Amino acid sequence: MLANTLELLKSAQNGGYALGAFNIYNMEGLTAVIQAAEVLNSPVMVQLHPITIEWNQGRIVPACIEAAKAAEVPVSIHLDHSQSVAAIDVALQKGMNSIMADGSDLSFEDNLKFTKSIVDKARQFGAIVEGEFGKLAGEEDGLSVEVYEAKMTNPDLAAEYVLKTGVSSLAVCIGNVHGKYANEPNLDFERLKAIRKNVDVPLVLHGASGVPADMVRESIALGVCKFNVNTEIRTAYMDAVREVITNSMKPDVMPIIQLVVERMTEVIKQKIVLFQSDGKA
């Protein structure tokens, strides 16, 4: 069934587990996410990046919504990393009710303004907004803030950010990165603890590909109730394509689609179990 993201997040927060939010690009991805969730009786989030929506003039959105409605488990459809108001408008008009307003490249003040304007707009559509801030504006007391520190979510500003923007969930920057980690991730759990103490909205960890199981469990214990996963699923997709075309030059598309879905489903199932959302549908 088509689910409301905020309800899913609140259930996860109360239940001490986390949702997997999986990025998809096409029907194969959509099929893999829903299939994995159904097998494990788990609620799940399907994420679309604005580019995925843009390139085919939004045709993928109703496909996702219909597939969610037909699913045996709760599925919500979420717009990932949106910096453009135009992309958000398209998503809202096409019925997406869960959106990430990504103002993390902006100064704190501009991020507040941008995100609040999206929250106000989304509210008219009954949609909720995930916000992110991980950058401090330049200087304090004449001292330049260290670059590393500046990219992290400041726990002291978190409450102000949530209050002033009205976001329903907050993506934290605690050393997590998109894509592969060069070394073992260095997640700042003290910072996460401090953020959790200052805000009560569900917390989101982006860049979950490559985060080891013990760190995932620690993050959940400290209040993360949504993990974004893309790279590990994409890698499974690409490996499957390579495997099929290396073994056969026949002009058959089905074997590619089947192996791609099978391999992505495997990765997604592992993540669902790791996030402890299995059996929570």
Residue 210, interface with Na ion (CB under 5 A)?
yes
Q: Mind telling me the catalytic residues?
A: 80
- Whose Cβ is closer to Na ion: residue 210's or residue 223's? 210
Residue 134, interface with Na ion (CB under 5 A)?
no
For the bound state, the minimum distance from the C-beta of residue 250 to Zn ion, rounded and expressed in Å, comes to: 37
Residue 206, interface with Zn ion (CB under 5 A)?
yes
For the bound state, the minimum distance from the C-beta of residue 213 to Na ion, rounded and expressed in Å, comes to: 14
Q: What are the structure tokens assigned to 53, written together?
A: 């929506």
Residue 103, interface with Na ion (CB under 5 A)?
no
Give the separation between CA 280 and CA 94, rounded to whole angstroms.
28
Of the candidates 196, 154, 159, 190, which has an alpha carbon nearest to the alpha carbon of residue 173?
154
Class of residue 195 by CB neighbours under 10 A (exposed 0-12, middle 13-18, buried 19+)? buried
Spatial contact of 195 and 153, defined as CB atoms under 8 Å apart = yes
Q: Which stretch binds Na ion (CB under 5 A): 33-41, 61-69, 80-88, 199-207?
A: 199-207
Candidates 36, 199, 208, 236: give the one binding ligand 13P (CB under 6 A).
208
The DSSP-derived string for 193-257 is HHHHHH--SPEEE---TT--HHHHHHHHHTTEEEEEE-HHHHHHHHHHHHHHHHH--S--SHHHH
For the bound state, the minimum distance from the C-beta of residue 31 to Zn ion, rounded and expressed in Å, comes to: 22
Number of chain residues interacting with Na ion (CB under 5 A): 3
Spatial contact of 170 and 199, defined as CB atoms under 8 Å apart = yes
Q: List residues binding Zn ion (CB under 5 A).
A: 206, 228
Interface residues toward ligand 13P, by CB under 6 A: 23, 80-81, 178-179, 206-209, 228-231
Name the residues that contact Na ion, by CB under 5 A.
207, 209-210
